Amino acid sequence: MLVLVVNAGSSSLKSQLIETHGKEARMKCLAEKVGTPEATMTVAFAPDFHKATYDVAGLSVARCLEKLLDIMVSDPASPISRLDQIEAIGNRIVAGGEFFTRTTLIDDAARRNLTRCEELAPLHNPPADECIDMLRTLLPNTPQVAVFDTAFHQTMPAKAYMYPLPMRYYDEYSIRRYGAHGTSHRYAAQQAAALLERPLSDLGLITCHLGNGGSITAVNHGKSIDTTMGFTPLEGLMMGTRSGSIDPAIITYIMRREGKTFDEMDKILNNESGVLGISGIGSDMRDVLTAAENGDDRAELAIDMYVYRIQKAIGSYYAAMTRTDAVVMTAGIGENSAHLRERIFAGLAHMGMILDKERNDVTGQIGVNRIISIDDSPIKICVVTTNEEMRIACETNDLVSQIG
Ligand code: AMP
């Protein structure tokens, strides 16, 4: 099935045209700084993925997508010449609230509920909804599917998803923990089950999505029972530019001391904290690791804190589950950094998670799903390669095929 994957962000658009049968991307598009005068969009077609760059200054995310569709039907390198050759559309949606517990076909009722979720992710959901509406107009007969970052975590029990705040904040504003990266955690758990050659329904897994953003999930018998991200993706681990969990009193303290506005405080916590805030170098883990190797103390502290917080999260989910069979590492850092994996698991051997240094080595192993613990490690350690666009395309394919 030829699936157009649409991943609309607050100021970006990622899109791919994917042939799900052979699991092959046929087109890749990235628009950045959308809404600003510097906005550009690159589009590349298989097989050589030579990038052409387009000026999309001032266009909204939905208008960028419209422009992409124009390019897709007019560029000779494109695999399609008519929009109706797209067989299905898979939309990534950041927040599905309590309305969506699974990947969903977007009919009129689902579309109405999507609007109700907008206030839960005011920067991300509205542009995604605009793209959906535009596509419903241009391609009225093509099924559209919504794949939610939050849906996988809708199985969390109330003791995990509730905050100890006055109840009316849950009743009136739906303030609770929703989690994120659900598509990635679900996929990592499925791939780990395949590696362990056991049914997912028998396993207790701790899945670690460690990229620019990061979250860890306790997956019991295939279901998310707890995850580190919360009401928004700011809670939990220390991330590239996000603080993760801190004492909430710090926020009001800084606001009072420095007269910060709400927006300024949001920016500090989301864009200026985490690995960037501590290291002062950047949010890219490779740069910070290089600086630490060269003796930079702040870079070393950032890595120490990053590792420690991951170790504590893994330990707390070990406690939350009745059994743990494996810890699964995925995303940019989880997949590629043998050094950070070694540091993380060096502190967890006493819990029965024992890394094999040779298997952990990445040489020739990038992109290979594998077990990297020693043979008799009581709890296995796995590495799994994630590909969000491919997952969205496959989930879209599965749902559309199911409902015919
Ligand atoms: P993602 O958000 O999944 O694309 O992951 C991005 C993060 O992965 C960035 O912080 C990168 O620096 C990091 N990353 C990618 N490759 C490596 C590597 N070989 N070693 C350490 N970090 C890496």
For residue 266, give every residue at least 6 positions away whose Cβ sits within 8 Å of its Cβ, in sequence order, or none.
none
For residue 79, give every residue at least 6 positions away whose Cβ sits within 8 Å of its Cβ, in sequence order, or none.
2, 17, 26, 27, 45, 46, 85
Rg of the chain taking only CA atoms, in angstroms: 21
Query: Start-end ranges of CATH 3.30.420.40 in the chain?
Result: 2-148, 199-383
pLDDT score, position 11: 86
Cα–Cα distances in Å, from 178 out to 35, 155, 385?
28, 10, 24
Q: Which of 149, 181, 208, 285 to mutate to test the pocket of ligand 1 (most atoms within 8 A of CB)?
A: 285
| Atom 23 of ligand 1, nearest CA residue | 333
pLDDT digits 0-9 by tens, 259-294: 999 999 999 999 999 999 999 999 999 999 999 999
Residue 122 has pLDDT above 90, yes or no: no
**199-383: what CATH class?**
alpha beta
Burial tier of 201 (Cβ tally within 10 Å: 0-12, 13-18, 19+): exposed
Pick the range with the lowest mean pLDDT from 237-246, 264-273, 294-303, 358-367: 358-367
Q: Which of 239, 242, 336, 363 to mutate to test the pocket of ligand 1 (most atoms within 8 A of CB)?
A: 336
Q: What's this model's pTM, rounded to 2 decimal places?
A: 0.91
Cα–Cα distances in Å, from 121 out to 17, 128, 308, 354, 392?
26, 11, 29, 39, 19
102: helix, strand or coil = coil
Residue 242 contacts residue 274 (beta carbons within 8 Å): yes
Helix axes 108-117, 125-138, angle to 10 degrees: 160
Give 121's pLDDT tier (boundaries 50, 70, 90): confident
**Ligand 1 centroid distance, CA of 307 (Å):** 14
% of the chain beyond a pLDDT of 70: 100
Q: How far apart are CA 184 and CA 186, in angstroms?
A: 5
Q: Which of 286, 310, 362 to mutate to test the pocket of ligand 1 (most atoms within 8 A of CB)?
A: 286
The CATH topology of domain 2-148 is: Nucleotidyltransferase; domain 5 (3.30.420)
pLDDT score, position 340: 98
**Ligand 1 centroid distance, CA of 342 (Å):** 15
Residue 175 has pLDDT above 90, yes or no: yes
pLDDT digits 0-9 by tens, 7-55: 998 888 999 999 999 999 999 999 988 988 999 999 999 999 999 999 9
pLDDT score, position 291: 98
Active site residue 361: no
Residue 393 contacts residue 86 (beta carbons within 8 Å): no
End-to-end CA distance of the chain: 12
DSSP strands (E only) in 133-242 = 144-148, 204-210, 214-220, 223-227
Pocket (CB within 6 angstroms of ligand 1): 211-212, 240, 284-286, 289, 331-333, 336-337
**Ligand 1 centroid distance, CA of 343 (Å):** 16
pLDDT score, position 120: 85
Residue 91 contacts residue 142 (beta carbons within 8 Å): no
Q: How far apart are CA 272 and CA 10, in angstroms?
A: 18
- Token pair 């406690």 is found at 319
The tokens of 203 are what?
A: 């396993």
Residue 141 has pLDDT above 90, yes or no: yes
Residue 218 contacts residue 316 (beta carbons within 8 Å): no
Burial tier of 188 (Cβ tally within 10 Å: 0-12, 13-18, 19+): buried
pLDDT score, position 124: 87
Q: How many residues does the chain have?
A: 404
**Ligand 1 centroid distance, CA of 337 (Å):** 8
